[in-house]
Every structure is written in C-alpha cells, then in structure tokens.
Structure 1
Amino acid sequence: MPPEQADRSEAPRVAWLDILARWRLLEADLHDVYGVDLGDPVVLRTRSWRWLETRILGLLSADTRLHRALFPPPETPRP
C-alpha cells in the first residue's frame, strides 16, 4: 500500500457535516493558519473546491480549534 493511502486509513475519520457544523471554528482557523479570510467574497469565488478542501483537511492535522473540537483529548481520571 502506498504511504499516502496508509496515512489516510490510519487517520481518524470525520464527516463533512461535523466539520461544517463548526463553521466559526473553521473560519477562525483558516484565517489564523493560512491567512484565508472567508469574509472576502472573492476568496471562494476564485478558488476551487480542492483548494479549500486541502486547507480544511490540513486544519485537522494541526493543533487547531477545529481539531480540538472534533478530537478532544481523553479525560484523565481524577485521583
């Protein structure tokens, strides 16, 4: 199996509905991490879906608000 496929199969899976339900976090992270201002109407009209998808999926691989909301760290038991 090529390495890029192995990485995908081991990564936690998340539905687009779950990502888009956290739009405010997504929007803030896109701005912080990539400097992408989704409030600018030109951005989404001039870029492809693939361009946006790549950046959104990148947010899931970094320590971002979106990643922490979708994959919270496990709680440690209290003594």
Structure 2
Amino acid sequence: MEADLLQCYGIDLTGGIMRRRTARWLRVKILGLLATDSRLLRAVAKPDPAPSAPVIPETGE
C-alpha cells in the first residue's frame, strides 16, 4: 500500500504524515486505491475464474 500511495497520490509515508492525518483521510485514499488498478487491488481481488476447456464431443469411432 505504501508504494501505491506514493505512485498514485505522491504521498511519502516516511515523513510522518500519518500522525497529522485523520482515519477518514486514510480511508478515502485506500478506497481510491481500490477503485483503480493498484497493487492493493490486485492483492485483495478475487482471481478471475480459469476459463473452462472446450468440450470436444466423442465421435464414437
């Protein structure tokens, strides 16, 4: 999540910004990351079901 916050919002968490922000501020940022193609979204999203193999009918030969 730290890398996503930096990449998407330019927020560097190493400067102590979290001490000056509210829980709501962080929630809004996290929801924003979940609404875009982010590492966080890929980490928590359910994988797409694998496509099923086509069924080839037996010819009886």
Smaller-chain TM-score range?
A: 0.7 to 0.9
| Max Rg structure | 2
**TM-score, normalisation: structure 1:** 0.58
* Counterpart secondary structure, 1:39: helix
Displacement of 1:54 in angstroms is 0.4
More helix by proportion, 1 or 2?
Answer: 1
- In structure 2, the partner of 1:31 is 6
Match for 1:67: what amino acid?
Answer: L
- In structure 2, the partner of 1:50 is 24
**TM-score, normalisation: structure 2:** 0.73
Displacement of 1:78 in angstroms is 6.6
Aligned residues: 53
2:33 to 40, 44, 59: 59
| 1:40 lines up with 2:15 in the alignment | yes
Match for 1:55: what amino acid?
Answer: K
Q: Identity over the aligned pairs, expressed in percent?
A: 47
Moved over 6 A (4+): none
Task: Give the root-mean-square deviation of aligned CA atoms.
Answer: 1.5
